[in-house]
Homo-oligomer: A and B are copies of this chain.
Amino acid sequence: MKQLRPGDRVLVSCISACGKCRYCRETRFGQCIGGGGWILGHNIDGTQAEKVRVPFAETSTHPIPSGIADEDFLMLADILPTAYEVGVLNGRVSPGDVVAIVGAGPIGLSAIVGALLFSPSHVVAIDLADARLDAAEQFGADVTVNNGREDALSIVQGLTGGLGADVAIEAVGAPATFELATELVRPGGHIANIGVHGTPATLHLETLWTRDVTITTGLVDTYSTPTLSRLLGTHQVDAARFVTHHFDFEEFVKAYEVFSNASETGALKVVLAPTA
């Protein structure tokens, strides 16, 4: 029995779920072992085309409620659920927490958006680029640290009576930023890795072994998409501000250039739409 009908307005999620395997039945769709998981644009072609064939469409798409613009909902395809599930929920951000977010690119900004839903007392954004820190401030970080010239650890300790952050979120994907995240967290705190890593990091167990820390990694499962959809509907999550540029299908190359030169163009997310 199909639920989808021709003409339905749906979001194609970055994660495909077979809906039948062990992991899908446990809500861990990102780990699908029935042929899905992170396959679109990774193991198979992605969705940059006028028409796409969507595997496991019944369990891998989400209806777009009326009243929400396509473009806003598009941010739920990957970036917002990733930061929310893998950063904010895995990190167990709670009211009153001090949350340190290492990296203020699009995924770090998404983590700010997600963290603010839990009313932390402080969100500290840490990055090497002032432009990204300005963006972080606009997205709601109340403390920004340029760790090229400021000492993130002492700033976080200053906010927490010397203890450290309740939650540290890694949103870069490099050994140094991961190691910084593990330093920033207080005893009993959480380190949530979102970053995509290509090389190992050093884990300082010689200090961490006594500190009751919890480190999590994860691929997005998109189980939070319905929740984020509701929050888009009530304007408690503002997805539109992630979209800095628009291009039509004639301008693919240009779009990628703008996106790759984010430091100059200020690009966060660029939207490619078929020529009307």
Contacts and interface: CB of A to CB of B under 8 A. Distances in A.
Given A18-B1, A231-B119, A212 B203 contact: no
A28 interface: yes
A178 B208 CA distance: 13
A206 B217 CA distance: 11
A19 interface: yes
A158 interface: no
A210 B38 contact: yes
Interface string A213-254: 111111100010011101101101000000000000000000
A138 to B, nearest CB: 19
A123 to B, nearest CB: 11
B30 A27 contact: no
Contact of A119 (B23, B201, B236): B236
A219 to B, nearest CB: 4
A266 interface: no
Interface stretch (A148-156, A188-196, A257-265): A188-196
Taken together, the copies of this chain in the complex come to 4
A46 interface: no
Nearest to A116: B119
Interface in A168-223: 173, 175, 178, 187-188, 193, 195-206, 208-219, 223
Contact of A1 (B35, B188, B223): B35
Chain A interface size band reads 35 or more
A31 B212 contact: yes
A140 interface: no
Given A19-B20, A59-B20, A96-B230, A173 B119 contact: no
A22 to B, nearest CB: 7
Given A205-B178, A214-B214, A230-B96, A223 B117 contact: no
Nearest to A30: B212
A139 interface: no
Contacts of A210: 30, 38, 217-219
A134 interface: no
30 contacts: A1-B56, A3-B20, A19-B19, A19-B59, A20-B58, A26-B223, A30-B210, A31-B188, A95-B118, A96-B231, A119-B231, A121-B231, A121-B234, A173-B209, A195-B205, A196-B209, A197-B205, A197-B208, A199-B205, A200-B204, A200-B206, A201-B202, A209-B218, A209-B219, A210-B217, A211-B219, A212-B218, A213-B216, A214-B215, A214-B216
